[in-house]
Amino acid sequence: MNQSVSDVISIKPSAWTVAQIEALLDLPFGDLIHRAQLIHRQYHDANAVQLSTLISVKTGGCPEDCGYCPQAARYHTSLEDQEMLSLTEVIDTARAAKAQGASRFCMGAAWRGPKQRDIGKISEMISSVKALGLETCATLGMLKQGQAEQLRQAGLDYYNHNLDTAPEFYGEVITTRDYQDRLDTLEQVRAAGMNVCCGGIVGMGESRQARAGLIAQLANLKPYPESVPINNLVQVAGTPLHGTEALDHFEFVRTIAAARITMPKAMVRLSAGRQEMSEAVQALCFLAGANSIFYGEKLLTTGNPESQRDDNLFKKLGIRSI
């Protein structure tokens, strides 16, 4: 890259190119974090982090071939399939999450996409969780015409549908759906008037250019997502990506910073992979602009830091939860 540091940190384009984001990622670490922190403080409370809880309401048996996912039926992992949770189980979990300080409750199901009969059951869960005073989020796969509207009518605030990686690397990870499928679902969510939760996974063997490509795709959505989860690959034995060389933690922090700079108003969520991060690395992520985490001992199928551990870290850093 031939751009100077002063040139790069002054960039505020209407559309981000991959080269511009690569230039950000190439900055000296301190310069990049400084820029991200300045932007973060411009749009957010610098010492506040939003807490979300994520549960799997239907686990395993997915027909997709996402190379990172233990819920794919074709892979032999230790994960046991689980039928859809009852409404009572979901409400009890949501109530406990709120009592622990969570403000958003996310429900995930391992489907290529929900059938119409599933939408009715999920809608009842959404309405019941919403009645508890929590923001609601769901990740159910690809949506058919009209389903986004039904979920919105039930009270869904956010729909999560990640792009996962850059278009150029996508085929190395997933072959059972294409990139446009994901973009089409996001368009339906927007048309229904819901907020978009959309991010990706790093550490899947992609290049820095591919990480820049992912951030460019997200930042150039019109509008960019309100919530941007950045996941560090959690390797699960039996999945194709098990054994992939781990991403350097400083590179992960750089990705968080690039997301903050390019999507200044978004909630940037430090998502999967936190269990493998030290307190110091997590603190750097918050400094780089992350202001949301998944809170609780489990994500959809993988571990997450215990709530008490997060509380202790927040106390050390002077962070309050929202």
**Residues annotated as part of the active site:** 62, 66, 69, 106, 137, 197, 269
Token pair, residue 294, equals 């998944």
Distance between CA atoms of residues 224 and 15, nearest Å: 11
Helices marked H in the chain: 5-9, 18-26, 29-43, 87-99, 116-131, 147-154, 167-170, 179-191, 208-219, 249-262, 279-287, 307-317
Distance between CA atoms of residues 143 and 148, nearest Å: 7
**85 near 137, Cβ under 8 Å?**
no
Beta-carbon-side half-sphere exposure of residue 3 (alpha carbons within 13 Å)? 17
Distance between CA atoms of residues 159 and 34, nearest Å: 31
**96 near 61, Cβ under 8 Å?**
no
Residue type, 315: K
Helix and strand element counts for the chain (H, E)? 12, 10
> Which residues make beta-bridge pairs with 105?
53, 136
In three-state secondary structure terms, 121 is helix
Helices marked H in 263-304: 279-287
